[in-house]
């Protein structure tokens, strides 16, 4: 490809720098920067970039074009999600690993490093273990939409009655993507003016939320006891529109920190218990 046919790229920027000046050099310069970055690695062989497939290099070039000709808020490896534009999972996984491991990369040198590690069959580092979900760990797991209670709640919120002549089962009727449901506000409990289509867009609305119950009584109970409480139909006032319910969750009270003085369940706070060591030490830090 001729250099004149390539688009221009903005200059590389290190993470944390807020401003850059436009770079009108041809994008072929980026190719030379990739080569230079590889050659600068300890033990690298000059010209090693030539061994990388041409089509992959072209994709990387396009990512550079999109990522480095944008506003300053997207500049820098740590400050953007540029790696989501990469061509496949292997490139993205390596990019996320670099994102975690250092702040000294520019977009150009990070791309060169990714290419090098793929070309040399480097071993991917383990991704960090995600933090456990506090609500679920404490036992507040809602009934599924396929459970007996879940089907009852969905049926009560369905806008039209079940017709056994049209549907093989009540579950098929309720789980139809065109099924309309009557929902209520998470806060006022008043009926929403519009119907919500599809059971995936509704959730079961609590009368007493998980954190409210935990702070009142749940911190004295085991997760199994909290789950038993949460799986009862009477704990729910009906259906809520999923997006509205999710937004209302941000207004819920924070979970209290369990302690012996509050007579909390030992597994939530006692460092000698296996439950605390294995799980709740990560939740109640």
Residue 175 lies in a domain: yes
pLDDT number for residue 81? 56
Tokens of 111: 């791309």
Shared domain for 103 and 145, answered yes or no, is no
Percent of the chain residues topping a pLDDT of 90: 46
Tokens of 69: 């000709």
* 161-197 tens-digit pLDDT: 999 999 999 999 999 999 999 999 998 889 999 999 9
pLDDT number for residue 138? 94
Q: pTM of the entire structure? A: 0.55
Return all residues near 224 (Cβ < 8 A) that are at least 6 apart.
139
Shared domain for 114 and 145, answered yes or no, is no
Shared domain for 9 and 111, answered yes or no, is yes
pLDDT number for residue 121? 78
pLDDT number for residue 126? 65
Residue 259 lies in a domain: no
User: Domain limits at 200?
Assistant: 138-254
H helix runs in the chain, sequence order: 28-39, 54-68, 89-101, 107-119, 134-137, 148-157, 170-174, 210-216, 223-230, 242-249, 274-275, 281-283
> Which of 206, 221, 25, 51 is CA-nearest to residue 120?
51
Residue 283 lies in a domain: no
pLDDT number for residue 215? 97
Distance CA 102, CA 276 (A): 32
* 98-147 tens-digit pLDDT: 776 655 667 777 778 888 888 887 777 666 666 678 899 999 999 999 99
Shared domain for 58 and 160, answered yes or no, is no
Count of domains observed in the chain = 2
Residue 268 lies in a domain: no
For residue 14, how far is the Cα from the chain centroid? 26
pLDDT number for residue 62? 39
Tokens of 141: 């797991």
pLDDT number for residue 187? 85
Of 119, 149, 171, the domain-final residue: 119
| Phi, psi (deg, nearest 5) at residue 11 | -65, 150
Calculate mean pLDDT across residues 33-49: 48
Residue 264 lies in a domain: no
Return all residues near 272 (Cβ < 8 A) that are at least 6 apart.
none
Neighbouring CB atoms inside 10 A of 208's CB total: 15
> Which of 283, 282, 156, 140 is CA-nearest to residue 225?
140
Shared domain for 169 and 218, answered yes or no, is yes
Calculate mean pLDDT across residues 56-81: 41
Shared domain for 142 and 110, answered yes or no, is no
76: left (phi over 0), alpha (psi -120 to 50) or beta: left
Shared domain for 233 and 172, answered yes or no, is yes
Shared domain for 38 and 109, answered yes or no, is yes
pLDDT band at residue 220, thresholds of 50, 70 and 90?
Answer: very high
Shared domain for 150 and 56, answered yes or no, is no
Shared domain for 158 and 110, answered yes or no, is no
pLDDT band at residue 239, thresholds of 50, 70 and 90?
Answer: very high
Residue 131 lies in a domain: no
Shared domain for 227 and 148, answered yes or no, is yes
Residue 41 lies in a domain: yes
Shared domain for 250 and 191, answered yes or no, is yes
Residue 225 lies in a domain: yes
């Amino acid at each position: 490809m001729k250099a004149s046919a390539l688009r221009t790229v903005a200059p590389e920027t290190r993470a944390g720098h807020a401003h850059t000046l436009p770079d009108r050099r041809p994008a072929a310069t980026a190719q030379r920067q990739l080569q230079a970055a590889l050659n600068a690695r300890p033990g690298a062989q000059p010209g090693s970039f030539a061994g990388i497939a041409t089509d992959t290099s072209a994709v990387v070039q396009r990512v550079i074009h999109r990522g480095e000709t944008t506003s300053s808020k997207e500049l820098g490896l740590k400050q953007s999600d540029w790696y989501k534009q990469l061509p496949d999972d292997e490139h993205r996984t390596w990019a996320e690993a670099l994102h975690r491991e250092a702040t000294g990369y520019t977009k150009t040198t990070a791309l060169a490093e990714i290419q090098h590690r793929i070309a040399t069959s480097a071993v991917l580092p383990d991704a960090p273990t995600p933090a456990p979900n506090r609500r679920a760990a404490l036992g507040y797991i809602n009934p599924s939409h396929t459970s007996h209670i879940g089907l009852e709640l969905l049926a009560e919120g369905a806008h039209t009655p079940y017709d056994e002549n049209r549907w093989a089962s009540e579950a098929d009727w309720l789980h139809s993507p065109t099924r309309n449901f009557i929902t209520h506000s998470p806060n006022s409990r008043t009926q929403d003016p519009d119907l919500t289509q599809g059971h995936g867009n509704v959730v079961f609305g609590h009368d007493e939320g998980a954190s409210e119950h935990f702070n009142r009584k749940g911190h004295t109970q085991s997760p199994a006891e909290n789950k038993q409480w949460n799986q009862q139909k009477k704990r729910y006032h009906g259906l809520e529109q999923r997006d509205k319910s999710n937004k209302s969750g941000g207004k819920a009270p924070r979970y209290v920190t369990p302690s012996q003085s509050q007579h909390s369940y030992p597994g939530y706070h006692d460092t000698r218990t296996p439950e605390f060591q294995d799980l709740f030490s990560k939740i109640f830090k």
